[in-house]
Amino acid sequence: MSNLSRDDVAHVAMLARIQLEDSELDRLAGQLDQIVDWVGQVNEVAAADVPPMSHPLPLVNVTRPDEVRPSLTAEQALANAPDPEDGRFGVPRILDEE
């Protein structure tokens, strides 16, 4: 049985860059706990000899030849960018000032 704490939720929220109010942390901790428990039921039916699966398709080695295909133009690539500058994507300041 899982038991997600409020701190766990706060940590995950920080990693995902989602700002949560204190009241939301309590509510989400409970809800996420339920979700983890629910998914965890799979463990009850999967025996130890069933390896975890990461993909529903029984395929391996799907590759493409090393041949150049057309790229987008810079205009196309930047069409939805809010702050393009000289053909580049403008992004907010990366480091917070200390």
Partner 1 sequence: MNAATRATAGTAPTVPYEELLTRYEPVVGLEVHVELSTATKMFCGCATGFGAEPNTQTCPVCLGMPGALPVVNATAVESAVRIGLALNCRIAEWCRFARKNYFYPDMPKNFQTSQYDEPIAFDGWVDVEVPANEAGGEAFTFRVEIERAHMEEDTGKSTHVGGTTGRIHGADYSVVDYNRAGIPLIEIVTRPITGAGERAPEVARAYVSTLRDLMRALDVSDVRMEQGSMRCDANVSLMPTGSTTLGMRTETKNVNSLRSVERAVRYEMTRHAAVLDAGQAILQETRHWHEDTGITTSGRPKSDADDYRYFPEPDLVPVAPSREDVERLRATLPENPAERRRRLQDAWGFTDLEMRDVVNAGAVEVIEETVAAGASPAAARKWWTGVLARRANTDGVAVTELGVTPAHVAELDGLVTSGRLNDSMARQVLDGVVAGEGAPAQVADARGLELVQDDGALQAAVDKVVAANPDVAEKIRGGKVQAVGALIGQVMKQMRGQADAAKARELILTTLGVEG
Q: Which residues bind partner 1 (CB under 8 A)?
A: 11, 14-15, 17, 54-55, 57, 59-74, 77-78, 83, 85-95, 97
In the complex, minimum distance from the CB of residue 87 to partner 1, in angstroms, rounded to a whole number = 4
Q: What is the spatial distance between Cα 33 and Cα 39, in angstroms, rounded to a whole number?
A: 10
Q: Give the number of other CB atoms < 10 A from CB of residue 32.
A: 15
Q: What is the spatial distance between Cα 28 and Cα 43, in angstroms, rounded to a whole number?
A: 23
Closest CB to partner 1 among residues 11, 27: 11
In the complex, minimum distance from the CB of residue 79 to partner 1, in angstroms, rounded to a whole number = 11
| Lookup: tokens for 98 | 């200390």
In the complex, minimum distance from the CB of residue 97 to partner 1, in angstroms, rounded to a whole number = 8
CA 91 to chain centre: 20
Closest CB to partner 1 among residues 23, 52: 52
